[in-house]
Amino acid sequence: MTTFAEVKNVLDTLASTHDIVRMKQKHGGAAFNWDTAENLRNAVAKITGATFRLIAPEFVGNGKADNTYLVRLLSGPIDEENLPQMPFRGPAASNDQIKIVRNWINEGALDDNTDCTA
């Protein structure tokens, strides 16, 4: 199982060379964050009037992670929607980093299990 902690580490690493406050503002504010798994499941980027859900629920837990905006934009630009690859101006995610995000989404985008008896 891929943990949310691994996903958070990937996204934090990718964002670490950027001004985080400015990055959030550029994506519409507080709803753009991955502080917790729940926050990431609900995260949106609001760009000039349009709202992009990073992980649309219909693509969670069913092998369709590659359809999410998050995986698509970490992988490359979406030219038809005028969206550049993220993080804008890099550094681009490695295949291994993308794999972690993809696997977590395909495994259900779950919270990390803190209960060993579950």
- Is residue 27 a contact point for ligand HEM (CB under 6 A)? yes
Total interface residues for ligand HEM by CB under 6 A: 21
- CB of 114 vs ligand HEM, minimal distance in Å: 25
Coil, helix or strand for 89?
Answer: coil
- Is residue 19 a contact point for ligand HEM (CB under 6 A)? yes
Which residue pairs from 71-79 have beta carbons closer than 8 angstroms and sit at least 24 positions apart in sequence? Answer: 71/98, 71/101, 71/102, 71/105, 74/14, 74/98, 74/101
What is the length of the chain? 118
Binding site for ligand HEM (CB under 6 A): 11, 14-15, 18-19, 22-23, 26-27, 45, 47, 52, 54, 69-70, 73, 83-84, 86-88
